[in-house]
Amino acid sequence: MRNLLRTSLTTAVVAGLMVFAAAAVKADPVQFSTTASFNGGAFSSPNAIVFGGGGNQLSLTFTGVTNSMVDTGPGGFTFASFGQIQTATTGTGATITAGTTSSLRVTQTIPSGGTDNFSGTISGTISQNNSTGQITFTVTHIDINGVQYDIANNPLALVPPSTNNGITTIQGSITTTAVPEPASMLLLGTGLAGVAAAVRRKLTARNQN
């Protein structure tokens, strides 16, 4: 009797795991927008900061994403753009003022509302054809109501105006927790119930013999 129960329990567990593994999982879609702030100023998109003077200037303009909808799929993970930085110069360009800071705010609307910020410092010199400019993020991971956002390219090298129209994309990743669909849970429950019924039949037949 003990061996029968042990075998039946093992069968039930294996059957349950097989049903659960075969069932599809579904991660909720994520919708978000991004804005930026320079040197502690207001968050907006677009937002610009200018360096230099006397005809030799450098401007950095951030343009965020608006109501971007991404699907993390069964794996609960996807890459996404968090916005762009565009460089523009006049004359010989300019050096970014030491100590310049930048914050990137993510505003999430789906699956539930909330905000959090990446932050970093900007440094380097940018001319029309050359750039040592970069953003070094000191906060590269944020969590908004269980949705994980991570900066992928850190430090972020800023291209000069002669490259890709001066546009550098801020790449990141979004991770969610995959949740079994209701139908998957129903399959799991039905499978385990079937195994339990089979165990009862075996026990009844054994007792009758």
Residue-wise pLDDT tens digits, 117-126: 999 999 999 9
Cα→Cα distances 74→38, 77, 182, Å: 37, 8, 14
Token pair recorded at residue 60:
């950095």
The predicted model gives 153-165 an average pLDDT of 98
At residue 197, does pLDDT exceed 90? no
Which of these ranges, 36-50, 126-140, 181-195, has the smallest mean pLDDT? Answer: 181-195
State residue 200's pLDDT score.
60
At residue 134, does pLDDT exceed 80? yes
The predicted model gives 27-41 an average pLDDT of 94
State residue 44's pLDDT score.
98
Strand locations in 39-192 (E): 47-53, 56-63, 68-70, 77-90, 94-95, 101-110, 114-123, 125-126, 134-139, 141-144, 147-151, 156-157, 167-175, 179-180
Q: How confident is the model at residue 96 (pLDDT cuts 50, 70, 90)?
A: very high
Query: What is the average pLDDT score of the chain?
Result: 84
The number of beta carbons lying within 10 Å of the beta carbon of residue 116 is 17
Q: How confident is the model at residue 21 (pLDDT cuts 50, 70, 90)?
A: very low
What is the rounded distance in angstroms from the CA atom of residue 12 to the CA atom of residue 197? Answer: 10
